[in-house]
Every structure is written in structure tokens, then in C-alpha cells.
Amino acid sequence: MILRTILAGLLLSASTLSLSALDSKETKKPADAPTKTEGKKEKPGKAPVHTCALNITWWEEPTLKEGETLELGIFVDKEFQAISIQAMTIGKPFDYTGGPDVIIARKAKVTTKDKKGNPVTKDDWVPFANFAIKETDTDVLALLMPAPNSPTAIVKTFDIGVEAFPYGTIHLLNYTKSKIGCNIDGAVFFAPPGQRGQIAKPITSRRVVNFRLAAFEADGSLRSLVSSPMILDQRSRRLYFVAENPGASEDARFRINALVDHLEDHTPPKPPEEEVKPTKKAEPKEAKKPAEKPAAK
């Protein structure tokens, strides 16, 4: 009984000391109670939906066997939409809305089995190519290159927004092991191996220039690739691709593809003006003459 009294006294004195210590300190405001969502880790959601103008073009159109067709589609809104692609062309862009991974498929005959195990053949979409776009991309050019010995394609993407690729400019993409130089009436720029070069100042007016492309060989010699007059203006932009096939003959070792984009190609056509027909003015009606009264007899 004495032990319990001593313990109770110790607890009471400890509580008194604790309360007096709290009273001597400044009272702190209690922190706001966390909401139900705070403190919980957010579950990983779906990839953000991105919208951009997408241009898809061939490096060169694939060689098809006799009777063979190639129908391509792009995955948008949970289904494939058929698309038409031309070689080295920037036309009307495709408004893409979807995830960061762009999926292109081709239509092919696919054989499956039904519930009874019988083979069933039907048209379906099968993988053909895929590439990624960034959240900051607004205008993307996807260049399709047929993969050797495979029914698929390799894709290279380029930023063709007007800030990165303005009208009135010329860009050069070098896929060779040599440095490539471009000369436009004395204005020279270079593209090192595997890199991109561009003219220093945009063209500001329509004019005829001497356009030259050359490769700097390993032995220091200069190999001419293109030399011809060309019409340039401020409403077009040009993208040159220089590739190399080491196994080809010297005359065919370098391959040059050009992509020219005109500003007019993106301008929607003006609606036809309605012919305004002049309205005929109504001719004034003749005033009716009062009827003559019969003379009195």
C-alpha cells in the first residue's frame, strides 16, 4: 500500500513538471491535419496524352512484289486509322493525339483458330514501325526507311517546327563518315559526320543561286556531289539527306535525297468567292391617268 502511494506521488509530480514546462514555452499552433490524399503515394497513371502535327514520309518507297499492296495505319483513339505516305514529302500534317509512343502498323492476312480449332484467316493490323515523341514536340517529321529483309521499317524523327526549321533556310543531315560542305553563292556551311548543318542566314528574297555539295574524303581530296543552279526564296525550306553505301561503286557511293517544303502547301485554299450579280433597279411605274368623265348631253 505504501509502494502504491509512492508511485502515485511520483506520477503526479512528473505530470505537474510536464505541465509547468509546457506553460513556460510558447504555445505552438497545431499543424493542419493532413487530408486523406496527403501522405499517400500517387498511383502511376496512364501516359500523358500529347497532341502534335505529325508528318510521315518515305526515304524511298518500298519495292513491292507483283500484286502486293502496302496499307499502313497509325494507332489513334484506341484504333488504327489508315494513312497515305509519299516519298520525301512534307504535306498536310496529321493531327496526332495520343501517348508518347507512336505505333504504325500494316494490314496483313492473319490466320487464327476458332473455338473448334479450325483455321480462320482475316485482315488485321500487324506491327510495322514505332517511334517516340517528346512532350515538347509540336511539329515532327518521321522518316520511314524499309528495313532490309524484314516486313518492317526503321524510323528517324526530326523537329520541323518553324523555330527549329524556319522557312528560307537550308539544312543538311550527314549520314556519312565524311564531312559534307554546302556552298550557296559563296555562303559556306558544313555538316560533320552524323550531324546536322544549316545555312547561317535565311534567304529573304527570291533569287537564282549556284548550289554545290561536296564531300571531304579521308585523303583530303574534295569530291563534288551536286553542282547546279537553284531557285531559292523566303517561302520555302529545304532538307538535304546525304547517305553513304560503302559497298557500292565510287559513282554510287553517296546517295542524296532532298525534301522541299513550300509555305503555300500548308495554306488552306480560299473559299470561292460568290459572284455578285448586280441587282436590277425597279423601273418606276407610270402613274395611272384618271378616267375621263363622260360629257353631259
Per-residue pLDDT tens over the stretch 264-281: 876 665 666 655 555 555
> Which one, of 223, 240, 74, 244, lies nearest residue 176 by Cα?
244
At 256, list the grid cell: 542524296
pTM of the entire predicted model: 0.68
Q: What is the pLDDT of residues 143-155, one digit of tens each?
A: 999 888 888 999 9
> In one letter, which amino acid is 137?
D
pLDDT at 21: 38
Give the burial class of 198: count Cβ atoms within 10 A of its Cβ; 0-12 exposed, 13-18 middle, 19 or more buried: middle
117 and 175 together in one domain: no
Mean pLDDT of 4-24: 37
Number of neighbouring beta carbons within 10 Å of residue 181: 19
**Does residue 110 fall inside a structural domain?**
yes
Helix then strand count (H, E) for the chain reads 1, 16
> In one letter, which amino acid is 106?
R
209 and 257 together in one domain: yes
**Does residue 296 fall inside a structural domain?**
no
155 and 178 together in one domain: no
143 vs 173: CA distance, rounded Å = 12
Backbone angles phi, psi at 126, to 5 degrees: -125, 155
**Does residue 39 fall inside a structural domain?**
no
73 and 144 together in one domain: yes
Instruction: Say which residue, 83 or 33, is predicted with more confidence.
Output: 83
| DSSP H or E segment with residue 49 | none
**Does residue 103 fall inside a structural domain?**
yes
203 vs 234: CA distance, rounded Å = 5
**Does residue 84 fall inside a structural domain?**
yes
Question: Among the three residues 159, 179, 203, which one is the final residue of a domain in this structure?
Answer: 159
> In one letter, which amino acid is 93?
P
Question: Among the three residues 159, 189, 212, which one is the final residue of a domain in this structure?
Answer: 159
**Does residue 32 fall inside a structural domain?**
no
Q: Over 90: is that where the pLDDT of 167 sits?
A: yes
| DSSP H or E segment with residue 44 | none
174 and 104 together in one domain: no
Strand stretches in 149-218, DSSP E: 153-159, 170-175, 179-184, 187-191, 196-198, 207-216
Instruction: Say which residue, 250 or 153, is predicted with more confidence.
Output: 153
How far are the Cα atoms of 15, 116, 163 from residue 25, in angstroms, in the given order? 16, 82, 61
Q: What is the pLDDT of residues 184-217, one digit of tens each?
A: 999 999 999 999 999 999 999 999 999 999 999 9
pLDDT at 277: 57
Q: Over 90: is that where the pLDDT of 282 sits?
A: no
**Does residue 42 fall inside a structural domain?**
no
> Which one, of 76, 57, 62, 239, lies nearest residue 156 by Cα?
57
144 vs 11: CA distance, rounded Å = 82
241 and 178 together in one domain: yes
**Does residue 291 fall inside a structural domain?**
no
Looking at every residue in the chain, the average pLDDT score rounds to: 80
**How many domains does one find in the chain?**
2
133 and 182 together in one domain: no
187 and 253 together in one domain: yes
59 and 109 together in one domain: yes
Question: Among the three residues 115, 133, 159, which one is the final residue of a domain in this structure?
Answer: 159
Instruction: Say which residue, 170 or 95, is predicted with more confidence.
Output: 170
179 and 228 together in one domain: yes
At 16, list the grid cell: 505537474
At 225, list the grid cell: 556531289
138 and 222 together in one domain: no
Domain holding 131, by residue range, is 50-159
Mean pLDDT of 110-126: 89
| CATH number where 180 lies | 2.60.40
180 and 132 together in one domain: no
131 vs 113: CA distance, rounded Å = 32
| Residues sharing a CB contact under 8 Å with residue 226, sequence separation 6 or more, in sequence order | 211, 212, 213, 256
